[in-house]
Every structure is written in structure tokens, then in C-alpha cells.
């Protein structure tokens, strides 16, 4: 149900919906004069909740501003309040309303996975959905924590990390075996039962049972010594020493907290920092800081409720969540998590013992991280203000978009956009643009820039980019000189966007940092002093755009190198492809080869040689 009430005040517009509302649970949306969703909320009774919004008294300043800006509302009824809560979080993720608490970083956390389907299981880092046939350990707070743990697993237990295809193609031990990071199962250097023992020990290690492993290794070492197998005893001794070293460097691990996430929050005005610590098998598997948008000043309980629901929307929660503040609708949130993940989850604010000590430590970390964030925010704001004054902008830029292109002699061309604002780089809004326009000459940077900007602003005007479909930049920064700036200005004129300033930054003839020239569409270029903070700021933005676009270009080039027309031919695997490329030097050499020459390649039968020959000759004609 939706009704347009643009001519009414906020409370009057809201009151108009009361006659049609029921006492059913559901979700409501509050909408402003521009059609933007201001807030998404859930209610046990829609009518009772909306009644609260028909007056401006008894609300926080945040809610008063929200009510005053509302001109229309939308409603969806549900069977239960739990369903309303789950639907609310889906809509918040999709619509990103201004007055809701928003978790801006929703990337998945890495796990360690042991693939149980193989007789010699592979142990690697994994992200995303967990498959039932494999054994997972996690989540870890960062890829660095996972890589460090995998390094321990390789060093101590000698488990393989190569893919199954590489495993099958091995004919002699690889470098990992030579440096004693793998036991060489691919070439029969270890029996399957011995490898399985190593896998079980690795699982115990990841489950925190290090002492149990050491005792077992000590017994095995003693047996090996008794049998005069001193080489085996030395290997076991090294493993025990490595485990002892790891125990001393792992940091503080709790005794009472076996499987839990600890969520600590720090508040400073409208700024929020939430630190989440992961404890699994009595081990601290790292922490990560989040800075959610606080909905223009929401209270602690509401922030934690929104954070927990959004954070565990697609992540499997532990059985226990420890929190630093009381969670609004705590029982409802627990019920929603149980319904969503089919798992009982308890949310507790501890008051004594080891748990409260861990919580105080986490809250201290959150406060310190928030202080650093605020300091960085203040510095960034000062730089943006100085930028406004230096270049005579009409207002301080809240959103700066920086553009750059990358290619290799015209091939694998990619354009990229990065975004920054008062809170620093907004990485979730970075964008890549594959440049496939045949009308653009290879290496023509000017037309590439025109192509990228045209696509960007056409998409923006058509509202096809749901991430920020209505957000226009306050300033555009181009990595390029006068011609690129003129090309960018031309795009803005074509799109009827004449009020967005454009600045180009280009290095001098010697390509030295500090000698950059700044270009403008409507005035002469200038150079800033080499020690000007604004120059450092612009350099940092340009370098970030360059880093991002180079990464995109390398990824695209790598994918093109790895793809090969030989892969499309039935009967050609890794070994035969390598043999063909080694014999003829390239895919082109294979395609031009005579049938008799193809038959001479090791591993290629007469029948397969005919398949290869016919494929390329039919393909090219």
C-alpha cells in the first residue's frame, strides 16, 4: 500500500495511513519528497507503531528529523514479528536508507577447509558457502590469519595445498616437498594411512588440542628412536618444537570461551566502532573493526540489533554471542537467527569472570580504533576544506570520484573509478569498466576516458547502479592532462551535468612525483608546491586509482593468458597441452601444424592428432 502525500507535513502525512492499517506485524518504509526511502522499520503491530510517529514529542532528535522529512509510507504485512525482522534486514541491505543503521562492510570471512573427498586431502583457504562433504575451521578475522595458520599446517603436518589437477599431473616432487612443506603424496612419498594421521593431527591442532598432539608425537618419536629410525625421530622432534613455539606466540586464548563471537561497541556522538572477536575451540582467531553508519544517531541497543542481524544475515553464527551493551529486542533477534540458520544462538551481556575481562579488552580496542578513525576523519575533512578553497569550489566535496585507465599496448584495456569522501576511501563503491569498443584505437587514452565516463554517467542517470544510483560526485579527478580533462568535460556537457568540477593530474616530462601539473577545463594549468599538503592528498588519490586499475588490468590479462583454445578440444588435458605448447611453442604454432607433425608429439595419438588438426582447420575457415 502506498499513498502520495507530498503536500502534507510529516505527521499529517503519516496520520493519513492510520484508517487503513491493521494490528498485524509487518515492515514499513518512510519516504521523502524525492522518493528516497528514509527508514525501514519492523513492528509487532503496524498500527500501534505508526501511531507513535503521528506526533513529534517524546522522540529523539534523529526520529523527529525523520518524521518531518516523511511525505509517504509503504507497508508489508507478515505472519510473525520474526518474519518482519528478517524482511526488514533484507530491505535495509537493498535500499540502504539514511536513518537506518547500516553495516557497510559485508565481505565474507575466510575459513580453512580440508577436502575430505580425496584420499590425500588438500588443505586451503576458503570463502563463501560451506559444502557438507568438507571439514571447515573458521571464521578467521583476516586472510593474513588464515595464511599464517596454513603456514603452520604445512610446516608441522606437511599437508598439500596444490589443486587436484596439479596433483594428478605431478611426476616428480615439487618445490614444496624439497623445502619440507609437503610430504609428497602425489609421487608416493608417504603412505595414505600416515597422511591420514597427519590430517587428524591438523584437525586437532585447529580444534585447540595442541597438548594432545604433542603427547602423541612424543610417543611416536620414542618409538622411532627405539626402532633406530633416527630420521623419522628427527622429523617428529622438529614438529614438537614447532608446536611449542606456536603455543608461545599465539597470544591470549581463553579457557572458558570455547565457541563464541564477542561484539564490543564504542560510541562517540554519531560515530560508531564495533570490534568483533572470533573464538573457536578456546582459541582467539582474530578480530575485525567495523564502522557502521549509525542512522544519524541511533542508540546503542538499536545499533547492536541491526549489526547482529546484518552481520549474520548470510554468515553462520556461533552458539554464543557476547555483547558489550544490551541488545534491543534480544530475544526476538535470537529467535530470528534460529529461524534463519536452524541453530540456537544465545546472546549474553556478561558481568563477571573471564568473559567480562575479554569484553573490557575488546571495548578498549574499539575505543582506540574509533579515536584513530575520528582523528583520520578530522584530517580528511581539513584536507577537503583546503581543497575547496584552493580550487574555488562551491562547497566542500563530500564525494570525489577518481578515474584512470590501464592497458598493454592497447590490449586488455580497463578503466576504473575509485571513490573517496570525508571518511576516506569508500572501497565498496569502486568500479571497473572493461573497454571493448572497437571504434577506440589501441592505446587511445583520451577516447578510453570518454568511453568510461560516458558509461558511468549514463548508468547513473538511468539508475542502473543500485549501489549509488542517485549519488553524483562533487568533484571528478582524472589521471591525465589537458586532452583527458577536455574529454571528461565534454561527457558532462553531453549528459547535461555542467556543475561538476573536473581536475586532471599529470606528471611532468620527467615523470617525477612532486612535479605534477593540474589541468582544468576552463582555466590554465598550475603546479602546486612540492610540499603542499593538497598535492600530497591528490597524489594519494591518484596512486590509489592507479593501484586499483593496474590490479584490474593484471587480472584481466592473466585470465586471457590462462585461457587457451586448446582447452576447448576434447581429450586434451594439462599434460598434453603442455606437450603441444612445448613442441610447437604456442597455440598458433599448434594451429598451423601439419597432421604428421601433430602425431610426433609425445602423448598425442593418431586419432587425437586428427581431432586437433580438424578443430583448427575447421575453426579458421
Residues 305 and 333: their CA atoms lie apart, in Å, by 7
Residue 6 has a pLDDT of 42
Cα separations in angstroms, 127 against 208, 219, 367: 22, 37, 29
Cα 75 to chain centroid, rounded: 32
The predicted pLDDT at position 248 comes to 47
- What's residue 51's pLDDT? 93
Q: What does pTM read for this prediction?
A: 0.65
580 neighbors 572 (Cβ within 8 angstroms):
yes
What are the Cα distances from residue 497, in Å, to 67, 361, 456, 502? 32, 50, 13, 11
Q: How far apart are CA 380 and CA 385, in angstroms?
A: 9
CA distances, 384 to each of 11, 418, 517, 537 (Å): 37, 16, 19, 9
**Sheet of 135-137, strand order:** 123-126, 111-114, 135-137
Report DSSP state, residue 431. E
The per-residue pLDDT for 5 is: 40
Find out whether 287 and 260 touch, Cβ atoms under 8 Å. no
Give the ranges where 300-444 is alpha helix by DSSP (H): 300-311, 330-341, 353-390
**pLDDT tens figures, 106-131:** 667 888 888 888 889 998 888 877 88
Residue 46 CB partners (closer than 8 Å, separation 6+): 21, 22, 23, 24, 25, 26, 28, 75, 77
If DSSP states are collapsed to H, E and C, what string results for 243-272?
A: HHHHHHHCCCCCCCCCEEEEEEEEEECCEE
List the beta bridge partners of residue 526.
518
Contact 327, 347 (CB under 8 A): yes
Tell me the CA distances in angstroms from 405 to 199, 356, 480, one per residue in order: 47, 51, 9
Which range is least confidently modeled, 98-107, 291-300, 443-452, 458-467?
A: 458-467
Length of the chain as a residue count: 621
The pLDDT of residue 29: 94
Which DSSP symbol is given to 119?
A: S
Kind and range of the H or E element at 12? helix 10-15
pLDDT at 563: 58
Contact call for residues 149 and 284 (beta carbons, < 8 A):
no
Would strands 502-506 and 517-519 be described as parallel, antiparallel, or unpaired? Answer: antiparallel
Using DSSP, state whether 505 is helix, strand or coil: strand
Sequence-separated (6 or more) residues with CB below 8 Å from residue 180: 155, 158
At 409, is the pLDDT very low, low, confident or very high (cuts 50, 70, 90)?
A: low
| For range 385-409, the mean pLDDT | 89
Q: What domains can be seen in the chain, in order of their start residue?
A: 2-99 (3.40.1440.10), 111-249 (no CATH), 259-371 (3.30.420.340), 400-560 (3.30.420.340), 565-620 (1.10.150.20)
Task: Let me know: does 280 contact 137? Beta carbons within 8 Å.
Answer: yes
3-state helix, strand, coil in the chain (%, to 5): 45, 20, 35
Q: Which pLDDT band, with edges at 50, 70 and 90, does 619 fall under? A: very low
- Rank 52-61, 66-75, 146-155 by mean pLDDT and report only the highest: 66-75
Locate 501 and state its grid cell.
568540477
Amino acid at each position: 500500500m502506498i499513498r502520495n502525500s507530498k503536500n502534507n507535513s510529516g505527521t499529517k502525512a503519516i496520520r493519513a495511513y492510520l484508517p487503513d492499517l491493521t494490528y498485524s506485524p509487518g515492515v514499513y518504509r518512510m519516504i521523502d519528497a524525492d522518493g528516497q526511502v528514509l527508514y525501514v522499520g519492523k513492528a509487532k503491530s503496524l498500527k500501534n507503531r505508526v501511531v507513535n510517529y503521528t506526533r513529534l514529542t517524546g522522540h529523539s532528535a534523529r526520529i523527529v528529523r525523520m518524521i518531518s522529512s516523511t511525505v509517504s509510507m509503504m507497508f508489508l504485512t507478515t505472519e510473525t514479528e520474526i518474519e518482519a525482522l528478517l524482511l526488514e534486514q533484507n530491505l535495509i541491505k537493498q535500499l540502504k536508507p539514511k536513518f537506518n543503521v547500516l553495516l557497510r562492510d559485508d565481505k565474507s570471512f575466510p575459513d580453512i577447509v580440508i577436502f575430505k573427498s580425496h584420499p590425500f586431502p588438500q588443505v586451503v583457504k576458503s570463502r563463501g558457502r560451506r559444502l557438507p562433504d568438507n571439514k571447515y575451521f573458521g571464521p578467521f578475522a583476516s586472510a593474513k590469519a588464515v595464511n599464517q595458520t596454513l603456514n603452520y599446517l604445512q610446516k608441522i603436518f606437511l599437508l598439500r595445498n596444490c589443486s587436484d589437477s596439479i596433483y594428478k599431473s605431478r611426476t616428480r616432487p615439487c618445490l614444496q616437498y624439497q623445502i619440507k612443506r609437503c610430504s609428497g603424496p602425489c609421487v608416493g612419498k608417504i603412505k595414505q594411512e600416515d597422511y591420514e594421521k597427519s590430517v587428524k593431527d591438523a584437525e586437532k591442532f585447529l580444534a585447540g588440542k595442541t597438548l594432545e598432539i604433542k603427547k602423541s608425537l612424543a610417543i611416536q618419536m620414542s618409538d622411532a628412536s627405539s626402532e633406530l629410525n633416527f630420521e623419522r625421530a628427527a622429523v617428529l622432534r622438529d614438529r614438537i618444537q614447532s608446536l611449542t613455539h606456536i603455543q608461545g606466540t599465539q597470544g591470549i586464548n581463553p579457557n572458558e570461551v570455547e565457541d563464541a563471537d564477542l561484539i564490543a561497541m564504542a560510541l562517540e556522538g554519531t560515530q560508531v566502532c564495533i570490534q568483533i572477536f572470533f573464538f573457536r575451540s578456546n582459541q582467539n582467531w582474530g578480530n575485525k573493526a567495523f564502522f557502521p553508519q549509525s542512522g544519524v544517531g541511533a542508540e546503542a541497543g538499536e545499533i547492536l540489533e541491526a549489526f547482529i542481524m546484518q552481520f549474520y544475515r548470510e554468515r553462520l553464527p556461533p552458539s554464543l554471542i557476547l555483547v558489550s551493551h544490551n541488545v534491543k529486542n534480544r530475544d526476538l533477534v535470537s529467535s530470528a537467527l534460529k529461524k534463519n540458520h536452524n541453530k540456537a544462538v544465545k546472546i549474553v551481556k556478561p558481568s563477571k569472570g573471564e568473559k567480562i575481562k575479554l569484553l573490557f579488552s575488546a571495548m578498549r580496542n574499539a575505543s582506540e580504533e574509533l579515536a584513530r578513525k575520528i582523528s583520520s576523519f578530522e584530517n580528511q575533512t581539513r584536507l577537503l576544506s583546503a581543497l575547496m578553497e584552493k580550487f574555488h569550489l562551491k562547497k566542500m566535496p563530500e564525494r570525489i570520484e577518481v578515474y584512470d585507465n590501464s592497458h598493454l599496448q592497447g590490449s586488455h584495456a580497463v578503466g576504473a573509478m575509485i571513490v573517496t569522501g570525508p571518511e576516506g576511501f569508500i572501497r565498496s563503491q569502486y568500479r571497473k569498466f572493461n573497454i571493448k569498443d572497437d571504434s577506440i584505437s589501441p592505446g587511445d587514452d583520451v577516447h578510453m576516458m570518454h568511453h568510461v565516463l560516458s558509461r558511468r554517467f549514463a548508468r547513473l542517470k538511468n539508475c542502473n547502479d543500485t549501489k549509488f544510483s542517485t549519488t553524483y560526485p562533487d568533484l571528478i579527478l582524472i589521471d591525465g592532462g589537458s586532452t583527458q580533462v577536455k574529454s571528461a568535460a565534454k561527457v558532462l556537457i553531453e549528459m547535461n551535468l555542467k556543475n561538476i568540477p573536473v581536475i586532471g593530474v599529470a606528471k611532468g616530462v620527467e615523470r617525477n612525483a612532486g612535479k605534477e601539473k593540474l589541468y582544468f577545463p576552463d582555466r590554465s594549468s598550475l603546479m602546486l608546491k612540492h610540499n603542499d599538503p593538497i598535492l600530497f592528498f591528490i597524489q594519494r588519490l591518484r596512486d590509489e586509482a592507479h593501484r586499483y586499475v593496474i590490479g584490474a588490468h593484471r587480472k584481466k590479462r592473466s585470465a586471457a593468458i590462462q585461457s587457451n583454445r586448446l582447452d576447448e578440444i576434447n581429450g586434451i588435458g594439462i599434460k598434453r597441452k603442455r606437450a603441444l605448447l612445448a613442441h610447437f611453442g604456442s597455440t598458433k604454432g599448434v594451429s598451423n601444424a601439419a597432421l604428421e607433425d601433430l602425431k610426433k608429439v609425445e602423448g598425442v595419438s593418431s586419432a587425437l592428432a586428427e581431432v586437433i588438426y580438424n578443430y583448427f582447420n575447421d575453426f579458421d575457415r
